[in-house]
Amino acid sequence: MLKKNGHVAQSGHSGQTLFDVATLIATVERYMTLQPDDLLFTGTPAGVGPIAAGDRLEGYMLGELLFDLKVEKAPSKR
């Protein structure tokens, strides 16, 4: 489940994605090496929406909080 600013934004399971998790990992690893603690966002069953600087995102799996982060604006490139 993904919460955005304290409200459920997405809730689903990997069986609802277009591609299975093993295929997604294999595809990503063709382009980069995944490391322990990397997050791989697998897509959305429903609830697609924008995020903005200042938003707070919380990710849960099996009821356990996996990440809690605040979205920040990327520094401008000079």
pLDDT at 13: 79
DSSP 13-71: -GGGSSS-HHHHHHHHHTTS---TT-------SS------TT-EEEEEETTEEEEEEE-
List the pLDDT tens digit at each of the 78 positions of the chain: 999 999 999 888 777 878 888 998 999 999 999 999 998 877 666 777 899 999 999 999 899 999 999 999 988 887
pLDDT at 47: 72
Place of tokens 């990992």: 25
Determine if the pTM surpasses 0.75: no
Q: From CA 10, how far away is CA 23, in angstroms rounded? A: 22
